[in-house]
Amino acid sequence: MTDSKYFTTTKKGEIFELKSELNSEKKEKKREAVKKVIASMTVGKDVSALFPDVVNCMQTDNLELKKLVYLYLMNYAKSQPDMAIMAVNTFVKDCEDPNPLIRALAVRTMGCIRVDKITEYLCEPLRKCLKDEDPYVRKTAAVCVAKLHDINASLVEDQGFLDQLKELLSDSNPMVVANAVAALSEINEASSSGVPLVEMNTQTINKLLTALNECTEWGQVFILDSISNYSPKDEREAQSICERITPRLAHANAAVVLSAVKVLMKLMEMMAPDADFVVNLSKKLAPPLVTLLSSEPEVQYVALRNINLIVQKRPDILKNEMKVFFVKYNDPIYVKLEKLDIMIRLANQSNIAQVLSELKEYATEVDVDFVRKAVRAIGRCAIKVEPSAERCVSTLLDLIQTKVNYVVQEAIVVIKDIFRKYPNRYESIISTLCENLDTLDEPEARGSMIWIIGEYAERIDNADELLESFLEGFQDESTQVQLQLLTAIVKLFLKRPADTQELVQQVLTLATQDSDNPDLRDRGFIYWRLLSTDPAAAREVVLADKPLISEETDLLEPSLLDELVCHIASLASVYHKPPSAFVEGRGLGSSRRALPTRSGSQDILESSPTHGERSGVIPTQESLIGDLLTMDLGGPPVASSVPAAPFASSGLDLLSGGLDGLLSDSPSVPPQQAAAAAAPSVGLLGDIFGLAPSASASYIAPKQMWLPAARGKGLEITGTFSRRNGQIQMEMTMTNRAMQPMMQFAVQLNKNSFGLVPAAPLHVVSPLAPNQSYEAVLLLNPTGPVQRMEPLTNLQVAIKNNIDVFYFAVVMPMNIFFAEDGQMDKRVFLSTWKDIPAANEVQYTINNVNLSADAVSSKMQQNNVFTIAKRNVEGQDMLYQSLKLVNGIWILSELKMQPGNPTLILAVKTRAPDVSTGVNTAFDAILHS
Amino acid sequence: MIHSLFVINHSGDVFMEKHWRSIIPRTVMDYFFEAQRQVVKDNKGHEDVPCVIATPHHYLISIYRNSLYFVAVCMSEVPPLFVIEFLHTVVDILEKYFSECNESNIKEHYVVVYELLDEVLDNGYPLATEPNILQELIRPPNIIGNLINTVTGKSNVSSVLPSGQLSNVPWRKADVKYTNNEAYFDIIEEVDAIIDKTGKQNCSTVFAEIAGKIECCVRLSGTPDLTLSFINPRLMDDVSFHPCVRLKRWENERILSFVPPDGSFCLMTYHVGCQSAVAIPIYIRHNFFLPKENSQSQTGKIEITVGPRQTMGRVVENLQLSIPMPKFILNCTVTVNQGRATFDPVTKILLWDVGKIDPTKLPNMRGQIHIQSGALILQSTPSVNVQFTLTQIAISGLKVHRLDMFGENYKPFKGVKYLTKAGNFQIRM
């Protein structure tokens, strides 16, 4: 007699037949009928039509029948709420039954009937059951509170069930405590406010720890999880909790072990990392974790995901256990991949030989995903453990020789990373890599190979042919490969401009004109413009030194790691995502968990200075010279006349303008007088119409010796700066004091505070005969890259001629940066003056000025310092002036002068107080001129 | 917590579902089936279905046992190990009830299974998972039970609360009585190892560890209190105990002190890690050739000899070698001087049932491997999975010192057996 007979009746009138059987007088027949109904229900058949008949069977003293009816009720009450009311009386009666089993069953089933009307009747019986004398009933009732909360949260709070639940935390029976904890934590989690309803304190924790020893394994998990949410008030409390929890590590249930590990990991954060207690605890953690790995594969997987977090947080715990992570061929694939990951994390110099021989073994296995990851792991070892790099590379080369397609592709991808980590060490193997060019069909491998070819174009004789072969199918490649190809060809071009011009034009056309991909197009345009305007800059950008790649590429971000450590043993630890990222309804309310901190460490965090964004980038002397040396003086003149549309149909011509410069070995400076003249002509017009004050009136400092002949190998330079008609100029007298003529002059400026760059190339009469002098004027534009210098007005200049390159630094007078549009509206002036904090105000005195206020005003006006207002206070003349620097900084000043007294008091107010000194110097110089 | 359970067979049918909270439609299993299809597509085994799957609203946590998938559906953040351990417990319980947990047994005892599932969880929280208690609540189906039920008209569901449910020793029934009082302890050790091919004579051990367990069968009247001590307890690197063991005494004195459950149970499991030297009882000498990729030949060669090593004076018995061959191999024709060798062309497993190793005449197998014509030959070498047993020895050297009983005043019959088996024992060729 088996249950399968209940499924055999598949005749037409099945429901009808059951109905009559349910209403039969015979108990035996009734029971059999209910069993049939349940059996149909379990396989998903709809038997809800029998609801009234089944409920009729509820009044019985046969427990099995009662249970079966209850099972049925739970399933269908939702769809038949009115009928379900009929059952309420029986429930209420059963809650008073002398048999605790029936009391518990009734309260349990009532909670599962998710019908609002029924919940009202549930409250009274539940309240009684929570105080029942039998612990079995109490523990069932505790869970029922959680059920009720799920159906109607406010009802639970109004009826005071939460307080009753809290009382159960001190129950004498550990099973009741465990269930109360479980119910409370579920209610807390569902709480919309995100504020836990029950705060743990030392007493509750102590009760929980006592219950922990005696309750079931499942109860232990609940209790441990809720202890993990508690933050002990000091290190001693944390230690005592740890001591009481450590024995759980020896539990047979893996869930208990891992939950205990979570609590310990969290509490260890509160202690000094080198304390004996922590060291001992760490030793105790390793064996249970290792044991988890000999359980069922599912347990192994979860354990491995968690171990992955643990080795990142505390690498010491498992540092000697490398071997347990070795892969067995019959491990499920998801276990294999995780093990591999951890092997690499644990790899160090002492075990690398073992790890490598294992990885090599794995690379010959059958499973493609696994083999790929193994090959990748070899590359990661090379990057992580430097002394092993050599062996890793040779292992990878061996693997490439196997010619197994996916192995080769994966190997090339990792070799690219190795190249980046150890530049100029293993490039000898490039030729081997190139042999496998044809077999690559995956985007990542193709991209990597193209990167290698582009990066080492100068070492590969036929790089252009190789890249050209890739270019043929450009349209069909994936974006990743297209982008790599574009960059690689541009690199090749910059390294070997002579014979690859056609190639680069071809790829630029393909990228900009034939592609729909905005990324590709944008990159194409950028390269195009770079190449056409300033190939030197292009070289600097495209061939710049790459930052070294870090050792561990896939470490979790520390703050995320800390959060995940708090969630060890939970789903979050399996996904390696914080719960807020995937658990529904955890969006706003839930507070993120954070590791507790050691009491001492807090101060360090707070005292750590938070530097503003303008923390000065002040290079040291050496690095400055280094900067200058890397400047490409052989570069072509700056083609400032290029219009801003390189993608017009004439783009190719424009490009060639730049190309010429790059190609010609001798930088024959093209006659750019036109360009040079163009800029001043605006000023000339302005002159004619009298828009600007007479240029000659503005202050120009006398020429100074910039480069003495002794340092300049015969070239002597004296010079100064001026502002004429809104154009900053560098005026130099270049004298040849040597015996031979000089030629091929060029100039370059280092990055500076105001972003000055030459607007036109330096023009010097060529050749400059011995003892001849030439007045050179270099127009400057404040449009270049900005780098803060010390002092602000420092400018580093490099001049080149056919003899050598000479470097010198000069200090520019501030007044050349005073812009013509520096007149501020009166009201704006007033509000700005008030707006700037008093701390930014600096006072200076200027001596020996014998000018009247009006004279000062007009003199300053000629230098773009505009008088906004003039007042006379107690016999003192006050001049309020405004000026604006070319980089947009406004400066307000107040000049106080007493007639007859040659000493002036200058107050400068600006948002960037760094410039004040320079302004003072400029004022001083102007007033004394 | 755990919302629902679905049991799925090999062909992908849900043949059992149980909901502890609101009903979750079966369509949620589509995500699981998708993962399953993916695995089949990738040519992997059934056990390769990921055990934690996230779907937009649910988390599916599954285990694979006895060719069945048990899939739990959760809706909130739960400890996945908790769910996995629980599912394994459920299968253990079903095995205790029906001796084997398979599809036909579950179908045959639908109602009992359903009642059991209802009893183990309440609202997703474990309620009663101790087999002792469950067996009191719901009697296991057996012929005598059915007979009694039919005769007396009683059901197999108990109407009284099991006594052990809330006692301090929930694992033990009260008032147990036996005429013969006996306590048997089996110390079973499994050797997990990976042996590498390097070094032809003495295969080098890449990794070896021992997973041991003590299985007990205790039939003692009343409430006996037992202590078990070992000669060399420090061998064990990590231990985990049945809840009945008093942890304090183990920590202080390295003595197992406990009130045992009634009947069969696992008292403890232990672990001897790879830090200590583990004896490897056998060695293998082998030759394995596949034809070169470009050669015309379609046959390779295989030759294996097995011999004893570090057996501590025992005979290696029940030796069995299974070699999963690469997929491109069509057939193997081998001759053996002992036992029986078969090749399954579907699973591509070459199985050699050796039996005992006679040290004077070593078991040997040689033969040819036939390659599928036109198949791409990968020069990979298979691993050999080895099974063996050594009786009357625990390979770690663990020995029981003495067993004492307190609390009752009869003299029980006591027995200890040792057994060493191969666990996951692999030799790379």
One-letter amino acid of A299: V
Q: State the number of CA atoms in the 13 A half-sphere of A759 facing the CB.
A: 19
The first and second tokens of residue B87, run together, are 């599912």
Hunting for tokens 């200075």 — which residue is that?
A609
Among residues B97, B92, B90, which one has the least CA distance to residue B138?
B97
Distance from CA of A576 to the nearest CA of B (A): 13
Distant-in-sequence contacts of A833-836, Cβ < 8 A, 24+ apart: A833/A880, A833/A892, A833/A909, A836/A892, A836/A909, A836/A910, A836/A911
Distance from CA of B413 to the nearest CA of A (A): 28
Q: According to the model, what pLDDT value does residue B167 have?
A: 60
B55 touches chain A (CB under 8 A): no
The string of pLDDT tens digits covering residues A809-843 is: 888 888 888 888 888 888 788 878 877 877 788 88
Q: According to the model, what pLDDT value does residue A647 have?
A: 39
Q: Is the pLDDT of residue A617 over 60?
A: no
The first and second tokens of residue A231, run together, are 């933050």
Which residues on B lie below 8 Å from A586 (Cβ)?
A: 77
Q: Which of residues 298-327 of B touch A (CB under 8 A)?
A: 324, 326-327
> Does pTM surpass 0.80?
no
C-beta atoms of B81 and A136 within 8 A? no
The string of pLDDT tens digits covering residues B364-387 is: 999 998 888 777 666 677 889 999
B288 touches chain A (CB under 8 A): no
The string of pLDDT tens digits covering residues B172-206 is: 777 788 888 999 999 999 999 988 875 444 557 88
The first and second tokens of residue B58, run together, are 């649910």
* Residue A817 and residue A884 in contact, taking contact as beta carbons nearer than 8 Å: no
Which residues share a beta bridge with A642? Answer: none
Edge to edge, what strands does the sheet with A715-724 contain?
Answer: A704-707, A715-724, A727-736, A773-781, A757-758
| Average pLDDT rounded to a whole number, residues A89-112 | 86
Query: What are the φ and ψ backbone dihedral angles of B77, each rounded to 5 degrees?
Result: -65, 115
* Residue B33 and residue B11 in contact, taking contact as beta carbons nearer than 8 Å: no
Task: Using DSSP, state whether A572 is helix, strand or coil.
Answer: helix
Torsion of CA A426, A428, A429, A434, to 10 degrees: 130
Which residues on A lie below 8 Å from B378 (Cβ)?
A: 364, 366, 404
The first and second tokens of residue B138, run together, are 């719901």
Q: According to the model, what pLDDT value does residue A224 have?
A: 92
| Alpha carbon separation from A173 to A54, A136, A203 (Å, rounded) | 37, 9, 17
The string of pLDDT tens digits covering residues B38-55 is: 888 877 777 788 889 988
Helix (H) or strand (E) holding B425: strand B413-428
Which residues on A lie below 8 Å from B141 (Cβ)?
A: 2
Which residues on A lie below 8 Å from B171 (Cβ)?
A: none
The first and second tokens of residue A276, run together, are 């004996």
Q: Is the pLDDT of residue B61 over 80?
A: yes
Distance from C-alpha of B217 to C-alpha of A476, rounded to nearest angstrom? 70
| Average pLDDT rounded to a whole number, residues B308-316 | 84
Distance from C-alpha of A697 to C-alpha of A701, rounded to nearest angstrom? 12
The first and second tokens of residue A684, run together, are 């000339």
Hunting for tokens 């960059």 — which residue is that?
A487
Helix H segments across A846-915? 853-862
Q: Is the pLDDT of residue A303 over 90?
A: yes
The residue among B2, B158, B240, B427 with the most chain A CBs within 10 A of its CB, best to mutate, is B240
> A140-149 burial, b for 16+ CB within 10 Å, e for fewer?
bbbbbbbbbb
| Average pLDDT rounded to a whole number, residues A32-49 | 80
Q: Where are the beta strands (DSSP E) in B295-412?
A: 299-308, 317-324, 329-336, 340-344, 349-355, 364-371, 383-391, 400-406
Distance from C-alpha of A718 to C-alpha of A704, rounded to nearest angstrom? 5
The string of pLDDT tens digits covering residues A749-761 is: 888 888 888 888 8
pLDDT band at A195 (very low <50, low <70, confident <90, very high): low
The string of pLDDT tens digits covering residues A889-924 is: 888 888 888 877 788 888 888 888 788 888 888 888
Torsion of CA A65, A66, A68, A69, to 10 degrees: 120
Q: According to the model, what pLDDT value does residue A498 have?
A: 83
More confident position, A113 or B426 = B426
Q: According to the model, what pLDDT value does residue A306 have?
A: 93
How many Cβ pairs within 8 Å bridge chains A and B?
A: 270
Q: State the number of CA atoms in the 13 A half-sphere of A232 facing the CB.
A: 23
Looking only at the bridges linking them, the beta strands covering B413-428 and B182-196 are parallel
Distance from CA of A255 to the nearest CA of B (A): 5
C-beta atoms of A366 and B327 within 8 A? yes
Q: Is the pLDDT of residue A1 over 50?
A: no
Query: What are the φ and ψ backbone dihedral angles of A598, each rounded to 5 degrees?
Result: -70, 145
The string of pLDDT tens digits covering residues A775-798 is: 888 888 888 778 777 778 888 888
* Count of CB atoms situated within 10 Å of the CB of B64: 20
Distance from C-alpha of A267 to C-alpha of A596, rounded to nearest angstrom? 7
| Closest residue, chain A, to B154 (C-alpha) | A62
Distance from CA of B114 to the nearest CA of A (A): 8
pLDDT band at A532 (very low <50, low <70, confident <90, very high): confident
DSSP per-residue string spanning A492-537: HHHHSGGG-HHHHHHHHHHHHHS---HHHHHHHHHHHHHHHH-HHH
The string of pLDDT tens digits covering residues B95-123 is: 988 888 889 888 888 878 888 898 898 88
C-beta atoms of B77 and A218 within 8 A? no
- From the number of C-beta atoms within 10 Å of its C-beta (0-12, 13-18, 19+), residue A86 rates as middle
Hunting for tokens 């988390």 — which residue is that?
B59
Distance from CA of B158 to the nearest CA of A (A): 7
| Average pLDDT rounded to a whole number, residues A547-565 | 77
| Average pLDDT rounded to a whole number, residues A721-739 | 83
Which residues on A lie below 8 Å from B198 (Cβ)?
A: 357
The string of pLDDT tens digits covering residues A63-90 is: 778 888 888 888 788 777 777 787 888 8
Q: According to the model, what pLDDT value does residue A650 have?
A: 39
Taking each helix axis from N to C terminus, what angle separates A297-313 and A254-268, rounded to the nearest 10 degrees?
A: 10
The string of pLDDT tens digits covering residues A388-435 is: 888 899 999 988 888 888 889 999 999 988 888 888 788 888 888 888
Q: According to the model, what pLDDT value does residue B144 have?
A: 52
Edge to edge, what strands does the sheet with A794-800 contain?
Answer: A746-749, A794-800, A805-811
Q: Is the pLDDT of residue A321 over 90?
A: no
Distance from C-alpha of A436 to C-alpha of A449, rounded to nearest angstrom? 10
One-letter amino acid of A399: L
- What DSSP state is assigned to residue A606? H
| Average pLDDT rounded to a whole number, residues B154-183 | 70
| Alpha carbon separation from A578 to A571, A583, B83, B135 (Å, rounded) | 9, 9, 20, 41
Distant-in-sequence contacts of A583-587, Cβ < 8 A, 24+ apart: A583/B76, A583/B77, A584/B57, A584/B75, A585/A190, A586/B77
Edge to edge, what strands does the sheet with B52-54 contain?
Answer: B14-19, B2-8, B68-74, B59-65, B52-54
The string of pLDDT tens digits covering residues A365-396 is: 878 888 999 999 998 888 888 888 888 999 99
pLDDT band at B146 (very low <50, low <70, confident <90, very high): low
| Closest residue, chain A, to B43 (C-alpha) | A367
Cβ-based neighbours of A729, under 8 Å, separated by 6 or more: A721, A722, A723, A777, A778, A779, A780
The first and second tokens of residue A861, run together, are 């006006």
Classify the phi-psi angles of A844: left when phi > 0, otherwise alpha if psi is within -120 to 50, otherwise beta. Answer: beta
Task: Using DSSP, state whether B155 is helix, strand or coil.
Answer: coil
C-beta atoms of B79 and A99 within 8 A? no
C-beta atoms of A298 and B84 within 8 A? yes
| Closest residue, chain B, to A77 (C-alpha) | B22
The predicted complex's ipTM stands at 0.86
- From the number of C-beta atoms within 10 Å of its C-beta (0-12, 13-18, 19+), residue A348 rates as middle
C-beta atoms of B52 and A571 within 8 A? yes
Q: Which of A190-199, A513-522, B189-198 is the least confident region? A: A190-199
The string of pLDDT tens digits covering residues A675-694 is: 444 444 443 443 434 443 44
Which residues share a beta bridge with B427? Answer: B195, B384
What's the first-to-final CA gap in chain A, in angstroms?
120
Query: What are the φ and ψ backbone dihedral angles of A208, each rounded to 5 degrees?
Result: -65, -45
The first and second tokens of residue A236, run together, are 């001693």
* Residue A42 and residue B18 in contact, taking contact as beta carbons nearer than 8 Å: yes
Query: What are the φ and ψ backbone dihedral angles of B18, each rounded to 5 degrees?
Result: -145, 130
